[in-house]
Copies of this chain bind each other. A is one copy, B any other.
Amino acid sequence: MPKNIEPVYYGEYLQLDKLLDAQAPHSRKYGAEAHDETLFIIVHQVYELWFKQVLHELRSIHQALQADQLDDRTLYTLAHRLRRVLAIQDLMNDQVGIIETMTPQEFLAFRDYLVPASGFQSIQFKELEILLGLTRGHRIAFDQQSFYNRLNDTDRAYLEALEQQPSLFDRVDAWLARMPFLEFNDFSFWQTYQQAVTAALDHDEKIIRETAATPEQLATELASLQSNRDNFAALFDNNRYIELQKNGQVRLSQQAMLSALFITQYREEPAFHLAHQVITGLAEMDEKLTIWRYKHAMMVQRMLGTKIGTGGSSGHDYLRRTTEQNRVFKDFFAMATYLLPKAALPELPAHVQQALGFYFRSNHATA
């Protein structure tokens, strides 16, 4: 412990003079103060504080992933911080219920004073999206055209510069793509895997043919299965995989996808525990963000019906469309597409198993 620590007072440490003096309802300026505008302000301020915390965690993860090699102590920290982000997201998702204690009419009492401010102008939220990997090219059409028009010059320049940096998605992809486990001298893992996959899909087809209730249903589901077969075929064929990427069906690079699949299939292997926690954490972060978008869209519908938002956005419908399309780590989330049951998995050769094992105890015994 260092000497000469200055004594600390709670309110000064937290800078409460600034924090608690930052709520100025605009309704006060134009007539009678609307009681509920304070809630509106504070709910958004709390979101911004959480955004700052989430950015603090994600930036540290983003930075750590820059290294060529991640040792397990670092991965441990990454997984730990991802779990914290998930915990904060749960809270943010529940927080939607707080704004819903304001009735639409209570909102209408001050809504007109906020024009044309809009949640789209939250720089931290946009930074979060860009950091994750939701850059301009991945936004849905409406957003592409209008996203930057709502911002002042400083904010726009700041975000546009961020878009030039590698995103968390990029770094996670690179980290996975350089993982070594994909080729073994005498053993073609992926060839064996493909055979197992074919057997599993044939089995699914059999179920469809036996259980389809109507010819139409049969046709629909066979088409869906065929697209599944195509996905699998593409998994192992670089040209076709690139097609999938172009169509927006997958986003990960082929190498990263194969690594992620291997890790998920063999996650009990000590060498994969932490990598699997990181992959799962990213998928859950995406899921929780999606649920937040969905709840947020519902809340806007409740508050405004089909009216337009304060910033002129058409509200609910737009927000709802973003829930599915803005998912950065969806490939991890839908990894089950490519998973086989454990019983159907090719067995790993002994020397691979050994390489993946964690032989502390025997090491120690011989130390």
With contact pairs A52-B42, A360-B271 given, residues A224 and B19 touching in the complex (Cβ less than 8 Å): no
Interface residue A348 (Cβ < 8 Å from any Cβ of B): no
With contact pairs A117-B9, A343-B109 given, residues A50 and B60 touching in the complex (Cβ less than 8 Å): no
Complex Cα spacing A363 to B113, Å: 41
With contact pairs A72-B358, A305-B334 given, residues A87 and B98 touching in the complex (Cβ less than 8 Å): yes
- From B23, B91, B105, contact of A341 by CB (8 A): B105
Interface residue A294 (Cβ < 8 Å from any Cβ of B): yes
- From B26, B38, B287, B307, contact of A204 by CB (8 A): B307
Q: Which residues of B contact A7 (CB under 8 A)?
A: 115-116
Query: Do A225 and B308 touch across chains, with their CB atoms under 8 A apart?
Result: yes
Query: Do A109 and B341 touch across chains, with their CB atoms under 8 A apart?
Result: yes
Query: Do B336 and A303 touch across chains, with their CB atoms under 8 A apart?
Result: yes
Most buried by B among A105, A118, A291, A311: A105
Query: Do A49 and B48 touch across chains, with their CB atoms under 8 A apart?
Result: no
Complex Cα spacing A109 to B327, Å: 28
The smallest beta-carbon distance between A152 and chain B, in angstroms, is 7
- From B9, B208, B224, B361, contact of A121 by CB (8 A): B9
Number of copies: 4
List residues of A (211-236) whose CB comes within 8 Å of B's CBs: 211-214, 216-217, 220-221, 224-225, 227-228, 231
Complex Cα spacing A103 to B287, Å: 15
Complex Cα spacing A287 to B88, Å: 20
Query: Do B26 and A2 touch across chains, with their CB atoms under 8 A apart?
Result: no
Interface residue A84 (Cβ < 8 Å from any Cβ of B): yes
With contact pairs A19-B18, A21-B18 given, residues A339 and B305 touching in the complex (Cβ less than 8 Å): yes
Query: Do B48 and A338 touch across chains, with their CB atoms under 8 A apart?
Result: no
Query: Do B228 and A49 touch across chains, with their CB atoms under 8 A apart?
Result: no
Query: Do B44 and A14 touch across chains, with their CB atoms under 8 A apart?
Result: yes
Complex Cα spacing A35 to B53, Å: 11
Query: Do A217 and B145 touch across chains, with their CB atoms under 8 A apart?
Result: yes
Produce 1/0 per residue, A292-331, CB < 8 A to B. 0011001001111111100110100000100010000000
Query: Do A355 and B337 touch across chains, with their CB atoms under 8 A apart?
Result: no
Q: A72-B273, A211-B311, A221-B314 are in contact. List 9 more A-B contacts (CB 8 A).
A: A7-B115, A19-B49, A20-B52, A91-B98, A109-B341, A270-B358, A291-B298, A302-B334, A320-B324
